[in-house]
Amino acid sequence: MDYKVIIIQISNLAWEILKTWWWLPLPVILFFPLRFFYLWYVNNKYWGRIQWVNLELRTPKDVERPLKAMDQVMTNFWTLYDPADFKEKWVEGKFLLPFFLEIAGIDGNVHFFLRIPKSMKTVFESAIYSQYPDVEVTEVEDYIKRVPQNEAKKTQEILEDTTVELQEGDLHDAVVEIRFLALSWLDDFEKELFKGKTIDELLNRGQYD
């Protein structure tokens, strides 16, 4: 038998099978992408329902607690570890929520902030007060909002189309991050020039080593 005929017959058979059963491997091929996008969708819905609060920790001038006390505070935070079960993960979109410990320099003073889900506020306060009873915990607005509006506007003009989809809070974050990156780069540059010191450090010392 001519091999060409055999090849043609096999090709025709394969084509008929493909036309009839082309959809069969689709569930296997699409399973992981669809699972990813579904989970992304329900996670985003869950994230959108979260209410956040910003807490400022105001410490007394003299804190006579050992460093081990802060280690215990961080350990207490781990009591919030509550991984989602099957229903919570795949139906409600629940996942472990982050919290943020932030240090900011405002008007020359150091400020300590916690950004946490509102539902966890009591737990965080209890963890802090258990080791630092003299600390004042106050709910405050996000310090990012203190960025001058003209700086946010200038950032928007510089970034142009990339800021179209940014919300106001995201734009303020961009301003702070850009400023931080710029200052970090300048600090590194100054340290190269002045033997490991920034200009601010030299001015505060009043001398050049």
List per-block mean pLDDT (blocks of 10 residues) for the chain, which spans 209 residues: 71 80 82 92 92 90 81 85 88 90 79 90 91 90 70 58 54 58 58 64 50
Which residues, 6+ apart, have CB-to-CB distance to 156 below 8 Å? 163, 171
- Residue 83 region, left (φ>0) first, then alpha (ψ -120 to 50), else beta? beta
Residue 168: how many other CB atoms lie within 10 Å: 11
Helices of type H across 81-207? 86-87, 121-131, 149-159, 168-193, 199-205
Residue with tokens 């630092």: 132
Structure confidence at residue 1 (pLDDT): 54
Structure confidence at residue 200 (pLDDT): 59
Interatomic CA distance for residues 31 and 150, integer angstroms = 48
Q: Which CATH number fits domain 50-144: 2.60.120.680, 3.40.50.300, 3.40.50.720, 3.30.70.240?
A: 3.30.70.240
Residue 142: how many other CB atoms lie within 10 Å: 14
Residue 108 vs residues 45, 105, 117: alpha-carbon distances, Å: 39, 6, 28
The 3-state secondary structure of 83-118, one letter per residue: CCCHHHHHHHCCCCCCCEEEEEEECCEEEEEEEEEH
Interatomic CA distance for residues 172 and 163, integer angstroms = 11
CB 115 within 8 A of CB 76: no
- What residue ranges do the domains of the chain occupy? 50-144, 147-209
**Which residue, among 52, 48, 41, has the nearest Cα to 90 in the 3D structure?**
41
Structure tokens at 142: 């996000």
CB 152 within 8 A of CB 175: yes
